[in-house]
Amino acid sequence: KQEVTQIPAALSVPEGENLVLNCSFTDSAIYNLQWFRQDPGKGLTSLLLIQSSQREQTSGRLNASLDKSSGRSTLYIAASQPGDSATYLCAVKNSWGKLQFGAGTQVVVTP
């Protein structure tokens, strides 16, 4: 059974510092992995999708890496800003339909 874990559960950094968010999964037979941002009481905003055949995906200040064999993905956010404060979720797809989510990392970027 797939388990998705995100460590740490919470993170506070000063503005300008790079953010490193970790996601691990127990079953490496995944189709893809998606990173989301969730603001309090709001929906999920898709940040990046990385397919199982890819090692890396970039969008602006965001870069996600995937090491399928070791069951890990890392989301890097360069030069963090207060507007990056949110909860970041990773989710893996290892069956036809569903995404399976981690519990998230709550990020606070202080000015």
Partner 1 sequence: EPEVTQTPSHQVTQMGQEVILRCVPISNHLYFYWYRQILGQKVEFLVSFYNNEISEKSEIFDDQFSVERPDGSNFTLKIRSTKLEDSAMYFCASSTGTYNEQFFGPGTRLTVL
Residues that bind partner 1 (CB under 8 A): 31-32, 34, 36, 41-46, 49, 51, 89, 91, 93, 95-104
To partner 1, the closest distance from the beta carbon of 17 in angstroms equals: 27
User: Which residue's CB is nearer to partner 1, number 60 or number 97?
Assistant: 97
Short-list 33, 47, 103, CA closest to 77: 47
From the CB of 43, what's the least distance to partner 1, in Å? 4
Give the shortest CB-75-to-partner 1 separation in angstroms.
15
The nearer residue to partner 1, 77 or 92, going by C-beta atoms, is: 92
Given a contact cutoff of 8 angstroms between Cβ atoms, the answer to whether 48 and 35 are in contact is: yes
Nearer to partner 1, 13 or 38 (CB): 38
Distances (CA, A) of 110 to 14, 54, 60, 73, 83: 5, 33, 21, 25, 10
The sign of the dihedral angle between the CA atoms of 22, 28, 33, 39 is negative
